[in-house]
Amino acid sequence: MPSLTVPPGAPPILQSLTVPPGAPPILQSLAVTLERMLVRILVLLYLAGAPALAQTLCQPNASNGYRVRISIKTALGNQAYEWNENEMFLFRATMAFAMRRYYKTETYNVDNIIVCNQTRRVSFWFVVISPENPTMLIPKADVEKAVSMSRHRINNAFLLTDRTLEFLGIYPTLAEPVNPDTPPWLIVFGVVIGAVFAGIIALLVSSLLQKRRKEKGMMEDGQDEEDRQMKGVENGINLDGIYNRGFTDDDRFTKL
Amino acid sequence: MPEEGMEDNKEGEERPKWNNKAEYLLTCIGFAVGLGNVWRFPYLCQIYGGGAFLIPYLIALVFQGLPLLYLELAIGQRLRMGSIGVWNSISPYLGGVGVASMLVSFCVSLFYNTIVAWVLWYLFNSFQEPLPWSQCPLNHNNTGYVEECVESTPVNYFWYRQTLNITPNMETSGSLQWWMVVSLATAWSIVYICFVRGIETIGKAVYVTATFPYLVLTIFLVRALTLPGAYEGLIYLFTPDWEILKNPQVWLDAATQIFFSLSVAFGGLISFSSYNSQKNNCEKDAVLVGVINSATSIYASIPIFAILGFKAHTNYVTCLNGNILALTNEFDISDMNITVENYEQWFDSLNGTHPSRVSDLKLKTCDLQTFLDQSASGTGLAFIVFTEAVISMPGSQVWAVLFFIMLFSLGLSSMFGNLEGILTPLHDLKLVPKWMPNELFTAIICLLLFLMALIFCLGSGNYWLEIFNSYVGSVPFLIIAFFEIIAVAYIYGIGRFSDDLEFMTGHRPNIFWKVCWLVISPLMLFVVLVAYVAVQAQTPPTYAAWNPDYVNFPNTEVLPYPDWVFAICVLLSSVPVISIPLVAIYRLICCMSGRHSKDSLHNNPNPYANEDYVVELLL
């Protein structure tokens, strides 16, 4: 008696299709064809329905979905690559990686990321379904945390930045400002003010030394002058002779 | 002090002398060429119809600027004293002109070096990557950017908050900003080191400070002309609008610009030329300095406006890109299908098909003219507009450093003249005790000015600086210059002055100079003075305050001056010039009471002096 191998997860109706022994052969063959047909139909339904089921899960403005917007030409200019199915596959794989990393499991797969509504912008919606339960969507908050955690890796996979690979609703974390210990301007200021003070001190010391030398020179000259009685005027008025101020030319002030 | 070539005056003191003519000319040029040539003239050129503005400007230069310049250089060189001594010599009744010059130089030194300190602060901050005014800082808990910065721009935030830490109005003084005090100390230290040995060190310093700006301007010119948008900026600047010449305000502004640009009536030029030998052709010097000053203004406006055109272009492209992004995202058009070139067509077609969606986007109107019209002058040009342009240039740090070093050189060389206008009269008045060396005296003056300028380091310092700039740096100078020219042309006598000039230059001044000194220049000065005062009296005294809590922030809030502040403004304008009548009255009283004036020939009778043989020299 040909017994149909009923798959283990098959619905009970198939399992009850075991033909009792002693039935006429025509009934048996009929049962067999019917079973085969049912199995095929159910498999077909399953195969067709799963994407349909998934399709209903992924919709624009889905409650647990995110919209992604990609601007490749803005980011890369001449070296922009074309967005095609392979790139989409990479995206789904990257998202699965992000989910794995966040939950620290290895259960997520490319099939768990569902995308829909792709436009030529390039933009599309995606949802994440749980690997254990294909009808259950991962909540929005968890997806956001997973994306934020691996944002850098996701960006780099596509050679894009936070601005050109946008997850609408997930804001990029702000870059940490570089805070050096000493503000750079203080360093420049220190160099400049040190040079200026060194210059001031150098100039003051050198003029002091010059004055000392001049005084020493003039003192020696003065002693010589006292020895010599009549000497010409070097600087200032010579008190030895009679200075005739009739030759002064300082009468250039306006008389009142 | 240099030993060679000392020339005595009658007290037997040694007057310092320039090492060579080049140092003297560079110092005068450096004094005349200042920050105003870079940030005031291009602005005036732009708002007053570009190339057409050159006509009133050049007329004012020829008929007002050059005669005044020649006059100051000549009397300083002939009488060989600072401003107070010179005016005392010409007529003791007009000694007040010298005192007024000194007081005005004192006030200008206070705020001018504060601007130099700001330039130094920006210079110190230009050695960072990225430039601190290119991005907003994060707020306390790192959740977002500082709100004040987001609402205005990072450049504005850096200027008003991180540099000035400005208070919302003048009544709130705020506290001393330590980083400003540090910058101010640096500025005054650098001024002091250049003044340590008087004109010996100044003469060395001006080789750098007077020539470096030209080098930087040329570098900027070459760089700016290769930037996109430079061409539009230059066309906008130089397109002459001849209609504007009918507006009297243009003539007034041209005359005041030439006047303040040449730095006459400070007393600094008189001091500098007093260190010359008497047989020096000051006519050529005056024409040279005046022409170079104006040529520098025109030359500086080319790279400035090329860069402003570049900035306008960048802003325009950014504005358009914002609109393009909005349209692309809304209509899901392929990335980069809409570009700056085909934006108009796309916009028209989309607006035709989906007008409601397009209007919901609230796109900005991007007009290149509007961006070009956003002009600025003064500190706004240097610290806000130009710094924003520099961010967009590749290699921003280099351009920022070059620009601020250029501004620093321009300001420093002008400070030399300002400070000289204070120090030389004080030396000539014999107010310096004999035991005090010159270095110490200069140090004391610099320290005093630094301490007084700390007022500009308060939170409200910028408001006070604007007051000083508008009220001290304007009307007093016009009054002083008017009295100067009247004193020389009418009281000293044009005949005597021509004889002096013949003694110095070898030929008598020609009819052009005489007519200018006698008629044209005093008349122009008088008209400009009256018109300026009339215009100022009509505009209500208000100031623009930066108030983050203002309703229309980031626009500045226009507030009226408080009464006590306005009283200070009036004092600032009048106290320097009040010395002119005061000294005249004092001398009159002294003379009428029978005592002789400060003429030491009469005060110290020397038994050996045979005054009968005093020969009357034709001066």
Cβ of B127 and A185 within 8 Å?
yes
CA distance linking residue A172 with residue A151, whole number of Å: 8
Mean pLDDT of B351-357: 85
Q: What is the pTM of this model?
A: 0.81
Quote ipTM for the complex. 0.80
Residue B606 has its nearest CB partner, among A184, A196, A245, at: A245
Q: Which residues of B373-407 are buried (b: 16+ CB within 10 A; e: fewer)?
A: eebbbebbbbbbbbbbbbbbbeebeebbbbbbbbb
Q: Using CA atoms, how far apart are residues A48 and B233, in angstroms rounded to an integer?
A: 65
SS3 state of residue B138? strand
Tell me the per-residue pLDDT of B363-395, one tens digit each, with 9 for 90 and over. 888 888 888 887 777 888 889 889 999 998 899
Q: Is the dihedral of CA B240, B246, B247, B248 positive or negative?
A: positive
The letter for the amino acid at B612 is D
**Considering only residues 81 to 100 of chain B, which have any Cβ-Cβ distance to chain A shorter than 8 Å?**
89-92
Give chain A positions within 8 Å (CB) of B439. Answer: 204, 207
Burial class of residue B89 in the structure, from the number of CB atoms within 10 Å of its CB (0-12 exposed, 13-18 middle, 19+ buried): buried
From the CA of A239, how many Å to the nearest CA of chain B? 11
**Cβ neighbours, 10 Å, residue A255:** 6
**What pLDDT does residue B334 have?**
82
Helix (H) or strand (E) holding B505: helix B494-505
Instruction: Supply the pLDDT for residue A231.
Output: 46
What would the mean pLDDT of A2-15 be, rounded to a whole number? 52
Q: How far apart are CA B426 and CA B563, in angstroms?
A: 34
Structure confidence at residue A12 as a pLDDT band (50, 70, 90): low
Task: Reply yes or no on whether the pLDDT at A1 is more than 80.
Answer: no
Which pLDDT band holds residue B340 (cuts at 50, 70, 90)?
Answer: confident
Quick one: pLDDT band at residue B129, thresholds 50, 70, 90?
confident
Q: Search chain A and give the residue with CA nearest B596.
A: A256
Distances (CA, A) of A38 to A3, A28, A29, A50, B439: 15, 15, 14, 18, 111
What pLDDT shows up at residue B3? 34
Q: Chain A contacts of B130, Cβ < 8 Å?
A: none
CB-based contact A204 B439, cutoff 8 Å: yes
Tell me if A189 and B183 make a contact (CB, 8 A cut-off): yes
Kindly give, in sequence order, each residue whose CB lies less than 8 Å from that of residue A148, ignoring residues fewer than 6 positions away: A170, A173
pLDDT tens track for B488-511: 999 999 999 999 999 999 989 999
Residue pLDDT, tens place only, B425-450: 888 888 888 888 888 999 999 999 99
Q: CA-CA distances (angstroms) from residue A86 to A55, A91, A123, A154, B336? A: 20, 9, 15, 15, 22
Start-end of H helices in A83-181: 85-103, 140-149, 151-157
Q: Do A196 and B144 touch (CB under 8 A)?
A: no
Q: Is B33 annotated as a binding residue?
A: yes
Contact A74/B91, CB-based, under 8 Å?
A: no
Put residue A115 in one of left, alpha, beta given phi > 0 → left and psi -120 to 50 → alpha. beta
* Predicted confidence (pLDDT) at residue B604 exceeds the cutoff of 50: no
Residues of chain B numbered 304-343 and touching chain A (CB < 8 Å) = 328-329, 332-336
Residues of B in contact with A236 (CB under 8 A): 12
Is B37 flagged in the annotation as binding? Answer: yes
The answer to whether B310 and B371 are in contact (CB under 8 A) is no
Cβ–Cβ gap B601/A69 under 8 Å: no
Distances, alpha carbon B351 to alpha carbons A121, B315, B328, in Å: 19, 24, 13
Helices then strands, counting H and E runs in chain A, come out as: 7, 4
* Structural element, H or E, at residue B552: none
Other C-beta atoms closer than 10 Å to the C-beta of B510 total: 9
For B127, the closest of A184, A204, A236 (CB atoms) is: A184
Using alpha carbons, select from B92, B101, B98 the residue that is nearest to residue B585. B92
Q: Which helix (H) or strand (E) holds B331?
A: helix B282-331
Digit-coded pLDDT (tens) for B580-590: 999 999 988 88
Q: Are B109 and B445 in contact (CB under 8 A)?
A: no
Among candidates B182, B601, B609 on the partner chain, residue whose Cβ is nearest the Cβ of A189 = B182
Cα distance between residue B580 and residue B479, in whole Å: 10
